[in-house]
Amino acid sequence: MNQYNDEIQLKDILIKLSEYKAYLLKKKFAIIVISGLFFVSGIVFALFSDTTYTAELTFVIEDQQQMSGALGAMSGMASQFGFDIGGSSSTTFSQNNIIELLKSRGVVESTLMQNRKINKTDDLLIEHYLYLNKIKDSWKKNKELTPVSFHGILTQDNDSVSGGVWMSIVEEKLVVELQSNEANIINLSYTSVNEEFAKTFVEALIDQMSKMYISHQTAQASNTLNFLTSRSDSVFIELEIAEEEFAKVKDINQRIVKASGRLKELQLMRRVEVLNAMYLEVVKNLELSKLTLLNQTPIIQIIDKPILPIEENDKSKIVFGLLGAFLGGFLSIAFFVFRKLFKDALSE
């Protein structure tokens, strides 16, 4: 009995499919016309859409390496005197984190706030962006919107606009990815309606990222260098003062024979010797700190930069036309199918 019912249901389905097939064949002229209209629309879209340019930049990250050999031995010796000259590796700016940080709001907005010359006009990159993407024109057309300028004091409106620009860049225009799983080379690309802006933006973005990366990786060594420089200056001043006092006391004590009379001279001599030893040690560690700082920079090495003129992103008219035709055909078939379903439901 169940097998009989299944055969009836399968037969009903095949009949229905046959009916819909015949119905669509009757509407084939309308489907072809709609597909043709969408085909033309796709070609028109390709013709009148803005020309875009993609600037590509490749770079590699140098991992901070542990100091070895003589530098490592000197680092260990410096630690015995209470000096930490750095040299330990950090994972904060790992390869994957670099990719995410390049797309972070802080890095992108800092880049946009830099002054660059585009089309012979020197201005902030965010001002160039608003002009090139016709955002300022939309503000002029809509009287309810208040134009925002990034010159002068920044307000909450500036934060809102810059946040929207950042979101648009990250979601639609900026691509950061590894060239391959085997290589450590990272590709950075940005698409814009202006080739000069696209080139300038990717270069400014990697420059901002490099500054942040180098500042972080060398922070410990820089702090140590600043401390040792200050300390060497202060010890040197103390040493000069002690040497002058020692020389004066020694001149006074030339005719004194008793040890009690030469006590002050002996104390000053000991102080000069101690300060001299301290100064030599500080200077040695100061030079070592300079080597450490030099060893840690630069961190990011650029392999290829975009070169003007940048090739246009070719929008194939045929491809857009075929996509439009496919979309038109799908929508028209879906329309007629649902229309027949609705009529059949009413007739029942």
Q: How far apart are CA 157 and CA 145, in angstroms?
A: 11
How high is the pLDDT of residue 122?
A: 92
How high is the pLDDT of residue 182?
A: 67
Per-residue pLDDT tens digits for 244-295: 887 887 777 776 656 666 777 778 788 888 888 888 888 888 777 777 766 6
How high is the pLDDT of residue 55?
A: 92
Q: How far apart are CA 158 and CA 147, in angstroms?
A: 10
Q: Name the residue ranges covered by the structural domains of the chain.
A: 2-49+316-347, 53-61+88-218, 221-295
How high is the pLDDT of residue 181?
A: 65
Pick out the chain residues at pLDDT < 70: 1-12, 44-50, 62-96, 180-183, 216-219, 222, 255-261, 293-299, 313-320, 346-348
Per-residue pLDDT tens digits for 206-238: 988 888 777 766 667 767 777 888 888 888 888
How high is the pLDDT of residue 88?
A: 44
Hey, what amino acid is at 111?
Answer: T
For the sheet containing 174-178, what is the strand order? 174-178, 185-192, 53-61, 300-304
How high is the pLDDT of residue 40?
A: 76
How high is the pLDDT of residue 339?
A: 80
How high is the pLDDT of residue 45?
A: 67
